[in-house]
Structure 1
């Protein structure tokens, strides 16, 4: 089954989960697509089985809080940012709920985390205006970049370069093997007037970069030249919250949540709105991602929804 406009328009909520009583702040599919991991403001981590459509396990992080949770390469461990006590990043074994390692260094809240798609490297960015490079195998920071502003960052699909968005106006590209030399490319974009950049992602084909904001615009820029390609609007964000925007695995569609509880979908190349999907979300849909392997979408407010296409249409 190919993802085309008509298929996207048939997506319906197949399963709704009410495991959390507060906002789900991050979701992440395992690389194999069979598990989904969520972190929530109620300090819970929930693991979902995507094939069975069930919630598999709930872990608590009451002492430190939990945000920005990400699978590492296996399905059995994750990294996440703390929301209480300190700004340490924690490396957790999901198998036995024990911490494997702590990554100390940031002095303010961590706002961006990205795991390399190919190895044990990850990057973090914080309100302390630094980007830090880490290796899962060592508690020591592998490198620090002073961003001069609050950064958002992400690896490209090959894991060879990463992009950092600074001050909601500049995108810098770094080569992982020589990042200490500084960025090899810098794009200046028009500074956002009414919102800040809150997320940055490469398309799965590596050709474009999606910039999400805490306003009602999402920007798409060329990953090589930095030229602005598209601006996606029409979704609602009247609460100034960081709404996630995500690509479909074929890079053809862009999905975003909305504060009115709907999911909005655009054609990435041409920019037009493909669908506005109603999933009966009771609050703002902050998290949205497409499964990397299965024809399945996940979205979350304080509830978690699995969406599937209606095959009978």
Structure 2
């Protein structure tokens, strides 16, 4: 099935799970699309099996908490995640035997971004300590770090050759992974004409666009090669200045964001039109949203986790 306006408008809630009693912080799919994993402010990590459509494992992280989480691309049973209690160490966890493989220590303030290389055993982390650090899964030692950057968020591109850093909610710097110590090879300025903080940065799967999420009721898409602003989308509820996640669809043709009122807003990147507003029946703001990379389904979360499927009868 190809993702189209009508397909997106046809999406309906397939299942909702109430595995958490506090806000879900992060949801990600495994690269093969067969699993999803979430973290929550209730200090739990929940694994969902997409082939049977239900939660299959819960891991507690009561001592350290659980904030951002990413699959390592080695398999669907190894993850890295950041803490929101006690310290700012990043932990490398095997879900099979529920054992920590390695600890990545060095950040001295909250980790604000975590991105796994799609092609190597490497990941990057951004922190309020004003650094982006480069790590290798095979060693606990940091491989390098950027010059001081105010409030950095970051992400690898789909080829794993460069990473982008959003700095102080006003500029984007591009780094070559092989020569990051030389500093950025390109920088862009972005003015949104409203007071807000950038809360997320993502590349589209085709690598041609960068999505900037904010806490100010606006998201922005840039050309990743020139830095030109392509689109600005607003018109969704975020009056409280919350960190609401946005995402691309896997074909890079649409962008989605959850809202304060529990609805999902979807725009076409090609014609800048809003193509759907979907009611997720969420009792609170949608803090996390992700489209499955392989299957026609996506997930949204507040403290509940909801999985969506298209309805053929409505298309």
Q: Same fold (TM over 0.5)?
A: yes
2:83 alignment counterpart: 82
| 2:38 corresponds to 1:41 | no
1:304 alignment counterpart: 305
Query: Could you state the TM-score of these two structures normalised by the residue count of structure 1?
Result: 0.99
Offset of residue 291 of structure 1: 0.2
Offset of residue 183 of structure 1: 0.6
CA distance in 1, matches of 2:16, 2:260: 18
Moved more, 102-111 or 236-245: 236-245
CA distance in 1, matches of 2:35, 2:311: 22
Offset of residue 137 of structure 1: 0.5
2:218 alignment counterpart: 217
Offset of residue 192 of structure 1: 5.7
CA distance in 2, matches of 1:31, 1:243: 23
Distance change (3 Å), C-alpha of 1:15 and 1:128: same
2:126 alignment counterpart: 125
Offset of residue 191 of structure 1: 5.6
Q: Which runs of 5+ in 2 are unaligned?
A: none
Distance change (3 Å), C-alpha of 1:147 and 1:272: farther
3-state SS of paired residue (2:155): strand
1:244 alignment counterpart: 245
Offset of residue 69 of structure 1: 0.8
What RMSD, in angstroms, separates the aligned Cα atoms of the two structures?
0.9
3-state SS of paired residue (1:141): coil
Contact 1:169 1:192 in 2 (8 A): no
Q: What are the Cα deviations for residues 122-175 of structure 1, in whole angstroms up to 9, with x where unaligned?
A: 000001111000011110000011333010100000011000000111100001
> How many correspondences in the alignment?
313
| 2:163 corresponds to 1:162 | yes
2:265 alignment counterpart: 264
Offset of residue 239 of structure 1: 1.8
CA distance in 2, matches of 1:244, 1:191: 18
Matched ranges for 1:62-77 at <5 A: 62-73=62-73, 74-77=75-78
CA distance in 2, matches of 1:146, 1:195: 24
Contact 2:194 2:216 in 1 (8 A): no
CA distance in 2, matches of 1:243, 1:111: 14
Q: Which runs of 5+ in 1 are unaligned?
A: none
Contact 2:113 2:153 in 1 (8 A): yes
Matched ranges for 1:45-56 at <5 A: 45-56=45-56
1:202 alignment counterpart: 203
Query: Could you state the TM-score of these two structures normalised by the residue count of structure 2?
Result: 0.98
CA distance in 1, matches of 2:2, 2:145: 42
Matched ranges for 1:260-299 at <5 A: 260-299=261-300
1:149 alignment counterpart: 150
Matched ranges for 1:88-103 at <5 A: 88-103=89-104
Name segments (4+ residues, structure 1) moved above 3 Å.
none
